[in-house]
Amino acid sequence: MDDKIDFTNKCDIEDCGLGIVEMDDKTLLRKVDWHLLPIMFLTYFLQMIDKISINYANVMGLQDDLHMTGNDFPWLATAFFIAYAVAEIPQGALLQRFSVTKVLGANVFCWGIILCCSSAAKNFSHMLALRILLGLMEAVIAPSLTMYTSMWYTRAESTPRYGLWYCGLGVGQIVGALISFGAQHAPTSMSFGGWRIMFVVIGVVNILVSLLVIFVLPDNPEKAKFLTETEKQRIGQRLTDDQSGVGSKVFRWRSVLEAFGDLQTWLLVLLTILITIPSGVITTFSAILIKGFGYSSKESALLNMPSGIVSIVATMVSTFAISRGFSRWLAIDLLLIPTLLGSCLMSFLPPDNQTGCLVGIYLVNTTVAPLALIYAWTGANYKGYTMKVSGAAIVSAGFSIANIIGPQTFQAKDAPQYIPAKITIVAVNAAAIVVSTALRIVYGRRNTAADRLGTPARSLVETRPAGKRGVQDVYPDENFRYVY
């Protein structure tokens, strides 16, 4: 669907009986962006650093210091994502009951405390328990940011904003590579090991950012102190006109059941799994794969940095193309083509072809960008607060399931080439193109049927009681259509 943004739009609003006020939407959007997006970006960046910090700790002697043996270390990653998947329902319930910013901020604060406590771990059991707790707390990130973005922007405008905060992942890859490089130069004879110091530093940064989330991010546009009353009214009107926003914060079992019974939910979950398997593998194991091409550990860390650049460029180009009217499903399919090419290069070229294999690694990182588009789809195509929370939580659970499956494709017996894992990346990317196209067909058929019958594409109508200005906030969907 063509949902191109008109950033030059100017509108007239009756300012509570004070006359007609001309407002520039472009100026309003810029004001909202500068107050919200940097903090949202920081939270997504930190959850990426939190996840991969355990890998940096590993090269700094974590396994030796905690007397780990056998498959102890892989279980730290597996346990994290099992907890991540399990926590989606309770975290969704918290988002339904309490303010999104307060739930997110409290969780980010807990991330910081848990990472600081990780520096004091004495054995594998201690670290395992802490990684499980971290997985439970980090499960909030995607649903909360998806919901929060939907509160402020129309469906077309929200897509590049998803891309902006999602770029925290690519920046995390770059910063992570530098941390890994620096960690390999850390002295191993310190009484308080370098990896313990790293956990404390990252933990403290998390705690500081949590304060920004709690005390700087407004709960919703109504409570934004940086907006005038007229600007608040304009944001509400724009969301109403666009059939977007999150609707009333009232729990509805019907909406939960509708989310679980909706075909789009399971296609989005399947697409998330198919995209995240190579995405999770490449972000976690790319340094290992690069090392297998004949580079040293330190060289591998630095050579992994362009992967983050590719992730950022792919995310920003695709999300801004969509804001200019480009189709979401086609953007995903086009992003998966270089991913497919890259996976073939690194799978089937001989390892001594270092340049070709490196190009393959970098191209595969375009698979990171479609997940931002899936989050945008979730925010745009679910109506009502409860259904948006439910849909976002289910899709996020698919993300964690994929991260449980992905590492299992890397078996020690397949080292150093890991051919089965590489072939898996080829297969799931090809399947993801099929699923993305299927979603476009489903959305298109639903819109066509709605046009023929003159009914909304989704029947749920959300209303809210009158606000403090006496204006009833209604989210009608007589003209609601799916975006694709």
In this predicted structure, what is the pLDDT of residue 110?
A: 95
Rounded average pLDDT over 394-417? 75
In this predicted structure, what is the pLDDT of residue 471?
A: 33
pLDDT at 206 over 90: yes
In this predicted structure, what is the pLDDT of residue 191?
A: 55
pLDDT (tens digit per residue) in 409-427: 766 566 666 677 777 778 8
What is the spatial distance between Cα 458 and Cα 442, in angstroms, rounded to a whole number? 13
Given CATH 1.20.1250.20, say whether it is the number of domain 22-475: yes
Residues above pLDDT 90, as percent of the chain = 17
pLDDT band of 85, cuts 50, 70, 90? confident
Rounded average pLDDT over 34-44? 94
Of the two residues 159 and 278, the one the predictor is more confident about is 159
Judged by average pLDDT, the poorest of 212-221, 346-355, 358-367 is: 346-355
In this predicted structure, what is the pLDDT of residue 461?
A: 32
Of the two residues 463 and 436, the one the predictor is more confident about is 436
pLDDT at 401 over 90: no
In this predicted structure, what is the pLDDT of residue 105?
A: 95
Of the two residues 399 and 385, the one the predictor is more confident about is 399
In this predicted structure, what is the pLDDT of residue 281?
A: 63
In this predicted structure, what is the pLDDT of residue 111?
A: 93
Rounded average pLDDT over 48-61? 78
pLDDT at 18 over 50: no
In this predicted structure, what is the pLDDT of residue 35?
A: 92
In this predicted structure, what is the pLDDT of residue 117?
A: 93
Judged by average pLDDT, the poorest of 95-104, 268-277, 284-293 is: 284-293
pLDDT at 329 over 80: yes
pLDDT at 459 over 50: no
Instruction: Return contacts of 453-462, CB within 8 angstroms, 24+ apart.
Output: 456/480, 457/481, 457/482, 458/383, 458/482, 460/254, 460/255, 460/258, 460/383, 460/384, 460/387, 462/247, 462/248, 462/383, 462/384, 462/385
The pTM of the full predicted model, rounded to 2 decimals, is 0.78
Of the two residues 323 and 264, the one the predictor is more confident about is 264
In this predicted structure, what is the pLDDT of residue 321?
A: 85
In this predicted structure, what is the pLDDT of residue 468?
A: 41
In this predicted structure, what is the pLDDT of residue 185?
A: 72
pLDDT at 469 over 80: no
